[in-house]
A and B are shown apart, each in its own frame.
Chain A
């Protein structure tokens, strides 16, 4: 495995060098694979407007484009295409799979799960449906069900690409970062070079794993490579900005996030930008972006597709409005219990002095196996508040082991741990 990884690194290094003229996300502006597929599907519809399949192709391509750009309006267009397809061929199985994918893209996980369960009953051999089940269950925090679905993906078509990616994600959540890397590496090798969006996605995931274990150098290379594969790939820009922050190159992080915000983006991206500005010492700009973030995030609080978790941390750590943090956290907790929602909920409880319950919630999250410096840091803060210094120190050691550039050691013992270390961000 090490040899495979190192071979990949060599390839990536060469490719990165070859693409050196494209600096952090600078672009070659050819149509993306999704854009090409959209054009082809529209042509097919023009040629044969009464055939449902053209609309399916269009909807699938629009979903790809939504993923390439994080622009949710593509999901609305995809919805429209699906409606037309279903009008021509009601209850078509393939169309309903696409419809379920749209629900996932719009973060309506309960509806997506309901739909995926029904599809699975109709055709239990369909591997893609197990992928939909896995996605919905992961987002809702049903990890056992997610694991079962992903295992069926692996069983039904050993080594298939989506199964590798889904299983890798679960391994990451279960704390097996290296195992996740192993599967994603296989997935990357199985992805055709023409699928630049998919390759960028996998490279970003690989980089994310390296970032999560504190290997900034490897992470940076992978994010750069993702951006070379697919110029301006949103997640790579955000993650590379995170690398820059950990390298204390805050101004560069700001530039990357500003670049990211030039295109459609969720409110959470503004939150990341505001934090980067703050780290860069540009407090006035940070305050303005925080305000923009708050306005945008509040507008979507009651919807499924929201930035509630970021809003929780904003209220808890920046706006010093713990009651609002808890209110928002409860909204999210009411319908999903995934690791990150539990973390946000626990942090909001902590901010409101409800540390016993906070500890219970964060321990549920950690019991899944996740090894996330941010969650460990929160767990340490909660334990410290409860007077459990040993646990706090243990959590901080875990966090420190995952973050190469930030030290969480306790120079003066647990009592001297500063509040800064327990901010909402890792």
Chain B
């Protein structure tokens, strides 16, 4: 057989893919996830549980900016996506424990025009996730939770069917949504608790101002006044994520399930520190088909991940974001130059903000095991450059009343970047880290921020640490010129 002429579709290579629009933020931060929203990891949280000192809670949020009224199908998890939480417990940047979540969707009444209905046409209001009271849940999702540890896979469902909590359609359909929300909390035994469903998105940021080429509101950013900077409970600019929902998976496990030796360690032990990230994956179409039977789908291929918030958004170059999203933390050395020579620092510099010279080895704290998050780590324990959210499980949670939005850099050592809690203002913290506060808090200590200091809807301070989803019928978003900025006169958010 004569060889087909060698050059493969040169012309096709050229006319093929038009550049995708590049959207950035942890919500839709990479081109590939802008096209695949159900696999888009919006935020990743890991922290010592507020009320249980020897427990860790991890939250994987996916599918950004869900408009609560957006029926009829609302926002089911994607059954073809594998949702994962990863833990490294020996400083090598590789998974030691992986928690996997897989969802299954059932349409119980295909004749209905909407996924959820109740209090009408003889269908009772939805008051339960299963059984009596769930008749109006035409679209119903359950899920499984498995743990892979030391190569062994363990189903953690505890013999229960786990149901995902649907979005909050409105008061006629779901008259007691809080009760539905609570039904989604499952105690699986061995100290493991889990919740999954649509929730209020706990992230907060003035997205519009930042992405309008760092055009913050007058009198607010980018340098906050001392009064605004010290305020942990009010907003001075609109929270662009306010009123939107997100799909959340929340898992609480004992620290002993996560550490390398199954023990609880004091903060000074390196064994107390874990590295974590959340990810999504889809079956990949493979160059080679699997035999017996031949099929084109191969193993799961990671689509998106998040360890430290805003690394991909604010640090990684746009031409690298997809590769970053789809590669694994262990291979992050290829992106090290973005950390050591952050473009964002250059941008701050053009705004007149003093920044330290490159290379920015101070930022390696975010991608290696070092003090102060890991005071027990010596020079040989730093591990590879890997975007993992590091958490010292030996540092107890800060009581809610004492939590500070600026976390670790404000002396609240249980906050970001020692893990991440919903209350942590990661945008302001990251700005200041890029500014150089870790190098010299006096020289590079301008109080940078966007004026969004907290979540409009507040926080949930107990498991599952997310708030119930905003109502499709009765909720609204905050925005410029609208209510929602309690720190401003009349609570109205500034436009300019």
A residues apposed to B, CB below 8 Å: 34, 60, 63-64, 66-68, 70, 97-98, 101, 104-105, 107, 122-128, 131-132, 134-135, 138-139, 147, 150-151, 154-162, 165-167, 169-172, 174, 176, 178-179, 182-183, 195, 197-198, 201, 204-205, 208, 211-212, 235, 238-239, 242, 272, 340, 372-374, 402, 426
Contacts and interface: CB of A to CB of B under 8 A. Distances in A.
Contacts of B13: 101, 128, 131-132, 135, 162
Interface in B334-386: 334
Contacts of A272: 2
Given A183-B296, A238-B2, A242-B2, A198 B12 contact: yes
A176 B285 CA distance: 15
A127 B284 CA distance: 16
Contacts of B282: 158
Nearest to B20: A157
B326 interface: yes
A124 B1 contact: no
A183 B8 CA distance: 14
Contact of B12 (A134, A139, A165, A402): A165
A104 B7 contact: yes
Query: Nearest 3 pairs between A and B by C-beta?
Result: A123-B319, A64-B11, A124-B323
A374 B14 contact: no
Chain A interface main SS type:
helix
Nearest to B289: A179
B32 A151 contact: no
A161 B12 contact: yes
Contact of A154 (B9, B284, B320): B284
Given A158-B282, A176-B294, A340-B3, A171 B288 contact: yes
Nearest to B16: A162
**Which of B3, B286, B294 has the most CB atoms of chain A within a 10 A radius of its CB?**
B3
A104 B284 contact: no
B294 A156 contact: no
B411 interface: no
Interface in B114-158: none
B1 A162 contact: no
A300 to B, nearest CB: 15
A68 B301 CA distance: 36
B284 A235 contact: no
Nearest to A75: B10
A126 B31 CA distance: 11
Contacts of A138: 6, 8
Interface in B316-340: 318-323, 326, 334
A128 B17 contact: yes
B227 interface: no
B8 A198 contact: no
A34 B15 CA distance: 11
Given A147-B288, A154-B286, A127 B3 contact: no
Given A138-B6, A151-B287, 17 more contacts: A63-B14, A101-B13, A122-B319, A124-B320, A125-B319, A125-B320, A126-B319, A127-B17, A138-B8, A158-B284, A158-B285, A169-B8, A171-B288, A198-B9, A201-B11, A373-B1, A402-B1
Given A123-B319, A155-B301, A156-B322, A198 B11 contact: yes
Given A179-B296, A426-B2, A151 B284 contact: yes
A69 B276 CA distance: 55
B111 interface: no
Given A158-B282, A165-B8, A179-B294, A124 B287 contact: no
Nearest to A369: B288
Given A105-B7, A183-B296, A128 B319 contact: no
Contacts of B288: 147, 170-171, 174, 176, 179
Given A125-B321, A426-B2, A167 B287 contact: yes
Contacts of A98: 14
A176 B286 CA distance: 12
A208 B296 contact: no
Contacts of B3: 340
A302 B9 CA distance: 26
A135 B14 CA distance: 13
Contacts of A238: 2
A179 to B, nearest CB: 4
B4 interface: yes
Contacts of A64: 10-11, 14-15
Contacts of A139: 6
A166 B4 CA distance: 13
A179 B288 CA distance: 8
Contacts of A178: 294
A156 B284 contact: no
Contact of B7 (A123, A135, A155, A195): A135
A380 to B, nearest CB: 15
Nearest to B32: A156
A170 B287 contact: yes
Contacts of A66: 10
Contacts of B7: 67, 104-105, 107, 135
B28 to A, nearest CB: 15
Interface in B208-254: none
Given A60-B14, A63-B14, A171-B289, A107 B296 contact: no
Contact of B8 (A63, A166, A204): A166
A340 B17 CA distance: 31
A329 to B, nearest CB: 15
Contacts of B286: 151, 154, 167
A128 B320 contact: no
Nearest to A166: B8
B10 A101 contact: yes
B4 A235 contact: yes
Nearest to B8: A135
Interface in B11-35: 11-17, 31-32
